Chain A
Amino acid sequence: MMDLNTTWFLLFGVLIIGYAILDGFDLGVGVLHLFARNEKERRINLNAIGPVWDGNEVWLLTGGGALFAAFPIVYATVFSGFYLALMLVLTALIARAVSLEFRGKVESNAWKRSWDWAFGLGSLLAIVLFGVAVGNILRGVPIDSEGRYLGGFLELLNPYSIVIGVLSLALMVTHGAAYMTVKSDGDQRERMKSWASGGWMATVILYIFATLYTMMEAGFLFEGILGNPLFYLFMVLLLAVLIYFPIALKAGKFFKAFLSSCVTIASMLGLAAIGMFPRLVPSSIDLAYSLTIYNASSTQRTLTVMLIIALIGMPLVIAYTFYIYRVFMGKTVLTEESY
């Protein structure tokens, strides 16, 4: 039987993966939005994510809440440590959110183009900063024996983390493009197809490079990994979907291609999580100072209460999220209510 701390590591992972998959395509569409050819394409982009982006972003908020509740030491240490970076993430997410809502409200080209830029750059910045944050967590941050963060802002912009940021960008643009092949048609769909296959290529190359880089930069992540059956599961899944993605795309099976990119994201994050476990934030000063699921967690009672809350709430969330996605399934059609 898994202990509660491990269960919460898993559940927090599920929330992060859920966020990366769901808001990932919103943000990816945001970046692609910068390259849209005309007003109709832009409106298709906005309305393809319009009904769902808000619910998708909630995965991040709930992830933040769950981290606070289950691993408050990590929540406090990382968020205060990454202060400026996080403020920029928040700015980017605010820009993305309000641009969607504000853009269509005034019939003026300058107005719309301004919000298009805010929307696209907000999305881009969020994706890259999330990637950089993941990179820093993977390689470890300076945490002393008392659990205090000793780093600064510029240290976060190290080459390794920037590579992970770029990988994040390639991955999410591919994912967003795959989503848009489902949601658009005609010329726009053709271009989304080529964005998706180009993005796929970039993702594969960057992922291989990043893996090798990780071996040098954070070899501890690979210790004992071959003994973990989940490692093989995620590797096989990842290989399978990476091979299948361009095939599906070529065959015009766009929804299957999109599902493949969802599984790609889940597998990559899953593999990272296996390397991290049971650490949550490795210390670059001494691995023994790392924040783990045991030394950074809430009490067993709180973890139990939280588990009950998750077990009651999340099935409901998944049920109605699924229902709403079904309502908006298929190509995006512009109506009177659209953005």
Chain B
Amino acid sequence: MDADALFLSRIQFAITIGFHFLFPPLSIGLAWLLVIVEWKGWRAGDAAWVALGKFFGKLFALTFAVGVATGIVMEFQFGTNWAEYSKFVGDIFGAPLAAEGVFAFFMESAFLGLYLFGREKVSKRVHWFSILMVAIGATISAFWIIVANSWQQTPAGYVIQNGRAELVDFWAAVFNDSTLVRYFHTIVASLIAGAFFMAGVSAWLILKNHRAELAKRSLRLSVIFGLIVSVLAVYPTGHEHARQVAHTQPEKFAAIEGLYTGQTGAPLVLFGIVNAVPPELGAEIKIPGILSWMAFGDIDAHVQGINEFPPDEIPPLWITFVSFHNMVVLGMFFIGITALSVYLLRGGKLFQKKWLLWAFVVSIPLPLAATQFGWVAAEVGRQPWIVYRMLRTDEAFSFNVTAGEVWFSIILFSIIYLLLGAVYIFLMYRKIKHGPEPVSGEGVA
């Protein structure tokens, strides 16, 4: 076994999925906001919303394209780098990927072409329908990916037979213990990403006094939308997801919550500095009993700590704890800033608060950071398993791929992705600076 190839394959997977995963959440969030914007443009015949639809539609198209380009890699990478995994779980894991293609990719891609190129070719109704189909397609796409990934977290509906996991019950595999909570949590997080993107861009246009009258509309829409989804991210979806992890993956729960000693009346850790060996927290701020209560509905419930699991079955402690807590902090911030903004919308005070508008501008990447933190907590928290308590990560990679080959592809993808990322940001900035097209009769600034 080539330990270097294994380690490098893990790094490569982290790089390629991490980069890819910046774009789909933003696409999903923006798609649904565009459904609203285009609806207003169509139903109210309002030229301002039409202009906003075209503007954000272009930003969406660019985001979507990079998502598609980097997504191709994911469809093949299980086979290239994780051949043993693919053989072991193919009977179950392949189906959701294929279903994603059949039920979602075709729909979003085909209708995206119609949406972007068909504005003058089809009726307004069909044009709106096309962005709706893109949004639904992207949301279904996320479903099947979460199904596949959730099955790795909480496998169900299978039997180990003939040296592999074989399907016994399709619906049990699809709706395994973690699928639905993780799906709703991920979708809500994506909607936050879309809302903060639209809010940040709109705030910037207002600050630059460029098409400010148009941007006020999209800012208003996105902060209201953003507040609703930010609350939903914490409760019920975030809370329920954490409860699910506590019940089905106690090692991960202990790691993300920083509970290194199992105890009754377990405390909720708000802050701490992780020392991995021996596992302990320094400088922690905690509230006694709350973790037990949140996870099991009883402040006296026993919560398992890291010390109660075999040492070779616990995930890395530092990264899981830090990622998870960063995500939570960001989630609280999203609620705070959108709640304040919605309050300030009355009388249009929000549009005068320059510091708050700037805060939205710099907050554009934060929901994407939050989704990355959440994903890292979820995936690293599953280690050392690639499929929880079934197949270890170090047994899953391609034995016939050498470290040299993986080095080659890591360098290749790193260069391509750095270039893609730079061009994407450059082009987005140009488009945003250009702003929406002016609308006659509006106060064009």
Residues of A within 8 A of B (CB): 47, 50-52, 54-55, 57-58, 60-62, 64-70, 72-73, 75-81, 83-84, 86-87, 90-91, 93-94, 97-98, 100-102, 105-106, 148-150, 153, 298-299, 301-302, 305-306, 309-310, 313-314, 317, 320-321, 324, 327-328, 335, 337-338
Contact = CB atoms under 8 A, between A and B. Distances in A.
Residue of A65, A67, A148 most packed against chain B (CB within 10 A): A65
B101 A66 contact: yes
B94 A76 contact: no
Contacts, number: 223
A224 to B, nearest CB: 30
Given A80-B83, A91-B416, 20 more contacts: A51-B113, A55-B113, A60-B72, A64-B76, A64-B101, A75-B86, A79-B79, A79-B80, A80-B401, A83-B80, A83-B409, A86-B80, A87-B80, A105-B430, A148-B400, A313-B102, A320-B107, A321-B106, A324-B114, A328-B117
Contact of A68 (B98, B111, B398, B423): B98
Contact of B109 (A54, A68, A153, A310): A54
B180 interface: no
Interface of B: 61-62, 65-66, 68-73, 75-76, 78-81, 83-84, 86-87, 89-95, 97-103, 105-107, 109-114, 116-122, 166-168, 170, 398-401, 405, 408-409, 412, 416, 420, 423, 427, 430-431
A78 B122 CA distance: 43
B116 A98 contact: no
Contacts of A299: 91, 166-167
Nearest to A98: B69
B111 A320 contact: yes
B57 to A, nearest CB: 9
B101 A324 contact: no
A153 B408 CA distance: 13
Nearest to B405: A83
19 contacts: A51-B113, A55-B110, A58-B105, A72-B91, A80-B398, A81-B400, A83-B401, A86-B80, A94-B72, A94-B420, A98-B420, A101-B66, A298-B91, A309-B98, A313-B102, A313-B103, A320-B111, A324-B110, A327-B114
Nearest to B114: A324
Residue of A149, A299, A306, A314 most packed against chain B (CB within 10 A): A299
A158 B297 CA distance: 66
Contacts of A77: 83
